């Protein structure tokens, strides 16, 4: 396509001039041949020669054909014949002929220029369009490639995430199993040792009933302990309704603060207690509630281990609400929660720590919900996070 624009200049200049001379010669021959039948037809054939020369040969050959035509007409067709002279009689006619020829070549030349310009413009446009099309196509391909890459990365990410989750779950199950095995095995070992001792005391020549009884009692205690362990595991797994008793929530919080004191000191965290007046009572399982608070406190302490630009303070607050609920809040000045973390806080096996099961908050929420309450976490405006839960309160404080 691009080649067409260069075609005309490439046609040999001489060939174009030769074409002009040839056409004029042809017109001359035809005019000479026909002059006896048609009178003076020369202006018609010469005009055609000029028009064609100008059209195909451009301006130069056009002018050449005009000059040649005029000379030929002067020589062959204006009296005196076979001379370049023109009689005054024929002058108006001759001048008209010259004007016609000049006009024709000018007009055609101009037309041809316009035509060429138009074609060049069109070709240019086509080239541009082609170029842009190629560019667009490339861009499109690149985009598709990027999308494909993206898709593949996402797939890999998804697979890795699934793999990680599975690994975490397996590890957790492994840890749990090992821990359960140990917890159950201890009382079993005690039962076996004591039962064997009991038999041994009874098998003596003079059976020692007191010793045998003591051993048997210890065996029973061991069995009770084993069944407690199993009950605890079962309640953890089935999230059974917790045991309900009257719990002084403030006291549970105080005890938790004492339990966490060692960890807090190690991490240079100060624990502040802001307890609601009176002794609000909730119905529930004090051990489980303490687990929840301790879990939140430990999380808070962990979140502050990297903080160096502000005091590491953990505030434990309880507040009676108008709705008859008590609100327990654990506020830290730690790293806070990103949106991503916030959205997944309570997912089982989700953790931001390198060592951790990611079960703490998930279990805590189950416990609070089983108590008819709600547990949630949010970022503080001033940095750090606050985790809080509400629990329905028993009517009227005691003590």
Partner 1 sequence: MKEHDPIVFVIDDDRMIRDGLQSLIRSVGLRVETFASAQDFLGTKRPDTPACLVLDVRMPGLSGLDLQMKLRDDGIPIPIIFITGHGDIPMSVRAMKEGAHEFLTKPVRGQDLLDAVQKALVSDRELRQERREANEIHARFESLTPREKEVLELVVAGLLNKQIADQLGMSELTVKTHRAHVMEKTQAESLAHLVRMSEKLKTATRK
Residues that bind partner 1 (CB under 8 A): 178, 181-182, 185-201, 204, 208, 211, 214-215, 218-219, 221-222, 225
Which residues have C-beta within 8 Å of that of residue 20, sequence separation ≥ 6? 49, 53, 57, 61, 62, 64, 65, 68
Cα–Cα dist 127/135, whole Å: 12
In DSSP terms, 318 is beta-bridged to 328
In the chain, DSSP assigns E strands to: 245-248, 270-274, 281-284, 313-320, 325-331, 374-379, 385-392
Nearer to partner 1, 131 or 208 (CB): 208
Closest CA to 61 of 114, 23, 33: 23
Chain centre to alpha carbon of residue 85: 91
- Residue 277 main-chain phi, psi, to 5 deg: -65, 160
Length of the chain: 399
Give the residue from 217, 353, 220 showing the smallest Cα distance to 295: 353
| Residue whose CB is less far from partner 1, 89 or 185 | 185
For residue 262, what is the DSSP state?
H
Between 79 and 207, name the residue whose CB sits nearer to partner 1.
207
Q: How far is the CB of 227 from partner 1 (least distance, A)?
A: 14
CB nearer to partner 1: pick between 117 and 189 = 189
Beta carbon of residue 188, minimum distance to partner 1 (angstroms, whole number): 5
CB of 164 to partner 1, least distance (A): 25
**Do residues 256 and 248 touch, judged by C-beta distance below 8 A?**
no
Minimal distance in Å, beta carbon 359 to partner 1? 22
- Least separation in angstroms between residue 191's CB and partner 1 is 7
Q: Nearest approach, Cβ of 208 to partner 1 (angstroms)?
A: 8
Looking at beta carbons only, is 128 or 182 nearer to partner 1? 182
**Burial of 219 by CB count in 10 Å (0-12 exposed, 13-18 middle, 19+ buried)?**
buried
193 vs 275, beta carbon nearer partner 1: 193
Which residue is listed with tokens 């060592």? 355
Q: Which is nearer to partner 1, 161 or 182 (CB)?
A: 182
Nearer to partner 1, 14 or 210 (CB): 210
The DSSP secondary-structure symbol of 345 reads T
Q: Which residues pair with 274 in a beta bridge?
A: 317
State the Cα–Cα distance between residues 58 and 100, nearest whole angstrom: 18
Cα–Cα distance, 393 to 286 (Å, whole number): 14
Minimum distance between the CB of residue 176 and partner 1, rounded to whole angstroms? 14
Find the shortest distance in angstroms from Cβ 264 to partner 1: 22
């Amino acid at each position: 396509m691009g080649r067409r624009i260069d075609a005309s200049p490439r046609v040999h200049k001489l060939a174009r001039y030769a074409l002009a001379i040839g056409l004029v010669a042809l017109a001359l021959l035809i005019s000479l041949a026909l002059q006896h039948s048609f009178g003076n037809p020369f202006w018609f054939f010469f005009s055609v020669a000029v028009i064609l020369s100008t059209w195909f040969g451009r301006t130069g050959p056009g002018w050449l054909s005009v000059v040649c035509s005029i000379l030929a007409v002067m020589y062959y067709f204006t009296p005196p014949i076979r001379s370049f002279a023109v009689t005054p009689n024929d002058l108006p006619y001759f001048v008209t002929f010259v004007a016609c020829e000049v006009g024709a070549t000018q007009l055609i030349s101009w037309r041809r220029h316009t035509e060429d310009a138009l074609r060049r413009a069109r070709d240019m446009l086509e080239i541009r369009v082609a170029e842009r099309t190629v560019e667009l196509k490339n861009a499109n391909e690149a985009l598709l490639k990027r999308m494909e890459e993206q898709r593949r990365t996402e797939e890999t990410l998804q697979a890795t995430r699934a793999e990680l989750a599975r690994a975490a779950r397996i590890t957790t199950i492994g840890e749990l199993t090992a821990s359960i095995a140990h917890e159950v095995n201890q009382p079993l070992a005690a039962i076996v040792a004591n039962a064997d001792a009991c038999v041994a005391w009874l098998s003596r020549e003079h059976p020692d009933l007191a010793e045998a009884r003591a051993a048997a009692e210890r065996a029973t205690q061991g069995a009770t302990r084993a069944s407690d362990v199993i009950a605890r595991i079962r309640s953890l797994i089935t999230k059974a309704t917790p045991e309900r008793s009257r719990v002084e929530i403030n006291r549970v919080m105080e005890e938790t603060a004492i339990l966490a004191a060692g960890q807090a000191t190690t991490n240079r965290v100060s624990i502040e207690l802001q307890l609601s007046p009176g002794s609000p009572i909730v119905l529930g399982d004090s051990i489980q509630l303490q687990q929840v608070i301790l879990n939140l406190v430990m999380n808070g302490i962990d979140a502050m281990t990297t903080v160096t630009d502000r005091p590491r303070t953990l505030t434990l607050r309880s507040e009676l609400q108008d709705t008859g609920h008590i609100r327990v809040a654990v506020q830290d000045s730690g790293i806070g929660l990103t949106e991503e973390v916030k959205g997944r806080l309570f997912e089982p096996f989700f953790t931001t720590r390198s060592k951790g099961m990611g079960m703490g908050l998930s279990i805590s929420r189950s416990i609070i919900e089983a108590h008819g309450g709600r547990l949630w976490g949010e970022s503080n405006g001033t940095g750090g996070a606050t985790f809080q839960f509400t629990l329905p309160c028993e009517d009227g404080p005691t003590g």
